[in-house]
Chains A and B, each alone.
Chain A
Amino acid sequence: MKIRLVGMVLVLAIVLTSCVPPAMQQKNYSNREQQIMRVNNREEPSSLHPGKAASPADFWPVDHLMEGLMKRTPDGKLVPGMARDYRMSPDHRTYTFTLKEGLKWSNGDPITAGDFEYAWKYALNPATGAQYAYQLYYLQGGRAYNTTKETDPVKKKKLEDKVGVKALDEYTLEVVLETPTAFFLDLCSFFTYYPVNRKVQEEFRSWDKHSRTYVSNGPFKLVQWNHKQDMVMVKNENYYDKDSVKLKEIHWYMVGDENTSMQMYRAGQIDLVYPIPNELIPLMKNKKDPELHIVPDLSIYYYDINIRKKPFNNVKIRKALSMAINRQELVEDVAQGGQKPAYGIVPPGIPETEDGKRDFQAFSGSLFQEDVKEAKKLLAEGLKEEKLAKLPTFNLLYNTSTIHKIIAEAIQEMWRKNLGVDCNLQNVEQQVKMERMRKGEYQLVRDGWLGDYIDPMTFIELFTSESTQNFSGWNNEEFDKFTRYAQSSINQEMRMKAMHQAEQIIMDHMPILPIYFYTKSYALKSRVGGVFNIVNRYPMMMYAEIQ
């Protein structure tokens, strides 16, 4: 009887394991005829709706499905996408976009200016709960509509009608801005500014949740979406620039573990892996692995100093801490991911001239010098001013993660060795860290920022007195003045100058300790060509080709 039971169990096991869905295509390398590229998206997108996309796992696929009025070319130039051309009013507050003719959604519907108006207003509607709605605050009345507490539908509709976007006819879109915004055209290439097929959304409210109802206007369309498992995109034959798209399909997987992702790459299950586990980057770099790519990323890693807590109100003490860190050593021996030491707050990759030749960060250079001797002197002076004999032991708070830990340990050791000061390291969960930052319950805290658009302002504006992201408690009138000027000026040269000055002011006061500028490291099979990088996006595959 027991034997029979075991037999039954085994049969059951075989039945169970054989009734799984048929094999997905994988393992086999895609050849030139197939033109299939496979990547790991790491997680299930939380939304593929352009208005509701909120994380890299959302916008990486969305960037391949949709396109805005403007787009970036592989060499980084900002060119019209859905738009054919645009006109700017003399005061730079009104933009009139004309769409290309004959544009079609993936289902064949015509793309109209109304689809843009509809999409932007949908994202701004407070009832949508769009995380990135603030990207549309540059539109006249955008913030007012998004933040309204109005419940009366008539009054709410009035606010909606006041938002500065209007389809004048099928092909013409008029956009009115709150104030002149020099980087508005770049914003038009951002996912929150992508259009939505109004007809489809009104017919199927959840069109964006299933591949069979999903419509796109970009290089690819979605044909399969097994939630938490994979997505398949195929070339969109209705895309106006379909001749530049060589890939026939992109397969997206959702494997969360970085190491497994790397193993899938090694085993040939995927063609591109991003990000690479940190500890593998130096190994690949030393081997001069041709498949390793390290490219700039629009983000910075820094520590906030809570200047409301004594003795960190003293600028000399803050500067001493900053000058006693050896950042080159830190990125080379500790972080090891090809990061760049930060001596300012604006990362490389933002052009400051029209021709794109001069880089903002390269032009500002190092805004302060590391100097242990000088740091010691400043610390002694600062302590004297604060009537202290010795810097009391302070706490450095960071969110739990290996990289944050080793960076913090290295800096702790540099401070101990170079300045003779002690700091305690405290690690907490990300959510707890944020709560304590909001309440100002910290002395030094690890922080970071990813720029939304390609302009220095995306970093500079963090530190104004009205910024809600300014956790150090620092503010400075002169800094605010320069920032306000650069926010509303349309004279590119003058506003860049103002931002350089603003950046210098913040580094002279050192309310944050810049540590390094992030980089993106990814591995790409050598048989795949045409993958390109935009500094604030994930690797772009629309023009990729299997060779």
Chain B
Amino acid sequence: MLSYMVKRLGYSLVTLWTVVTLTFFLMHLVPGNPFDKEGRMPPEIFENLMKYYHLDQPLLLQYIHYLKSLLVFDLGPSIKSDVLTVNDMIVQGFPVSLQLGIDALILAVFFGILLGTFAALYHNRWQDYLSMVVAIIGISVPGFILGTLLIHYLAVGLGLFPPALWGTWQHAVLPSFALSFMPMAYIARLMRSSMLEVLEQDYILTAKAKGLRGSVVIVKHALRNALLPVVTVLGVIAANLVTGSFIIEHLFGIPGMGEMFVKSIFTRDYPAIMGSTVFYSGILIFLLFVIDLVYTWIDPRIKLAGRDS
């Protein structure tokens, strides 16, 4: 187990380094620079700013500097903010995105599994069709449309929740729901097909033949195996949700870090692009590792340490 974890850590670091290097050079290949905007500045000022942010140095030197500061977890200043460093942006934005993401993840997993299981149990009956219609809507309606509709009807129309901003649990309801809809639909579809497959298995027949109650068969025997494919995708879904969604955060005015990913690229805020990429890759690598561990708990046949038969 330990040697496996050490090996995985090594791989993770190499992956991270590759991501950092690729992003760094690709980002500088893209035309434009952080100081281009509508009210353009005189070239003298431009030079001062390039110097101020050390962008006048050779690229390789900038790269080495970046790696060095990365070793001490210093992600540098943001070019677009004199107030917040990239570290500040992540420290302040991530907890917000994380909370919103966890809320959405809980909704998505709970209702996704419920809907999928339900659909499988009532295979080819109206309950099944209804669940799958919901799932198809969930997959095909983008978050910003759902979000806009929620704001329009529930917030402005009925005044049930605030239309935007962040702070109380009321603020979290609409964005969590809007954010959870797509992964929920995805999980429901996955759950349905895997549940259907499991229900065909001989051991389910055996369990039923033993005279176990239907609910026990489902919960104790079928669900556990049917969950495997869901758990597989959960890592990616979770990483996506907790690192923030640009659209939902932008739409609901939530101070998370989703906006940072997208905006930093548009504004060529190099340190912020790097910071968000490093952070996102780190989270993804970590979650995939966790998922590997969870696998062994759900299915003991999967061994961590390779072939020791």
Contacts and interface: CB of A to CB of B under 8 A. Distances in A.
* Interface size of B as a range: 35 or more
A20 B168 contact: yes
Given A46-B81, A227-B92, A432 B32 contact: yes
Contact of B167 (A21, A133, A147, A255): A21
A256 interface: yes
Contacts of A434: 32, 36, 40
Nearest to A23: B168
Interface stretch (B17-25, B41-49, B60-68): B41-49
A154 interface: no
A18 B83 contact: no
Interface in B235-262: 250-253, 255, 259
A27 B255 contact: no
Contacts of A3: 219
B6 to A, nearest CB: 30
B53 to A, nearest CB: 7
A131 B81 CA distance: 12
A260 B251 contact: yes
A267 interface: yes
B92 to A, nearest CB: 6
Interface stretch (A9-17, A64-72, A305-313): A9-17
A263 B161 CA distance: 12
B106 interface: yes
Contacts of B155: 263, 267
B169 A18 contact: yes
Contacts, number: 180
A48 B82 CA distance: 9
B163 interface: yes
Interface in B42-98: 42-45, 47-49, 51-53, 80-84, 88-89, 92-93
A228 B169 contact: no
Contact of B164 (A44, A227, A269, A449): A269
B189 interface: no
B255 A228 contact: yes
A46 B82 contact: yes
A127 B52 CA distance: 7
Given A22-B168, A44-B83, A431-B36, A257 B253 contact: yes
Contact of B83 (A12, A47, A429): A47
B130 interface: no
Contact of B80 (A20, A46, A266): A46
A356 interface: no
B163 A264 contact: yes
B228 interface: no
Contact of B45 (A22, A134, A261): A134
A469 B102 CA distance: 49
Interface string B98-138: 01001100100110000000000000000000000000000
B230 interface: no
Contacts of B35: 131
B33 interface: yes
A402 interface: no
A199 interface: no
A267 B162 contact: yes
A200 to B, nearest CB: 16
Given A256-B250, A259-B148, A129 B83 contact: no
A267 B156 contact: yes
A2 interface: yes
B172 interface: yes
B151 interface: yes
A263 B164 contact: yes
A209 interface: yes
Contacts of B162: 26-27, 267, 269
A52 interface: yes
Contacts of A20: 99, 166-169, 171-172
Interface in A422-452: 429-432, 434-436, 448-450, 452
Interface in A159-210: 208-209
A263 B168 contact: no
A9 B106 contact: yes
A229 B143 CA distance: 22
A20 B48 CA distance: 42
A284 to B, nearest CB: 16
Contacts of B167: 20-24, 229
A389 interface: no
Contacts of B32: 429-432, 434-435
A173 to B, nearest CB: 25
A218 interface: no
B41 A131 contact: yes
Contacts of B159: 267
Contacts of B82: 46-47, 49, 52, 209
Nearest to B247: A257
Nearest to A147: B44
B39 A129 contact: no
A133 B31 contact: no
A6 B51 CA distance: 55
Contacts of B51: 126, 129
Interface string A1-45: 011001001101100111011111011000000000000000011
A156 B89 CA distance: 35
Given A16-B103, A131-B41, A260-B164, A227 B84 contact: yes
Nearest to A448: B38
A13 B253 contact: no
B256 to A, nearest CB: 8
A260 B45 contact: no
Contacts of B233: none
5 contacts: A46-B81, A131-B45, A256-B250, A269-B162, A431-B268
Interface of B: 30-33, 35-45, 47-49, 51-53, 80-84, 88-89, 92-93, 99, 102-103, 106, 109-110, 148, 151-152, 155-156, 159, 162-169, 171-172, 219-220, 223-224, 250-253, 255, 259, 266-268
By Cβ-Cβ distance, the 10 closest A-B pairs, closest first, are A431-B32, A255-B253, A129-B52, A228-B255, A47-B82, A434-B36, A229-B255, A23-B168, A17-B169, A435-B31
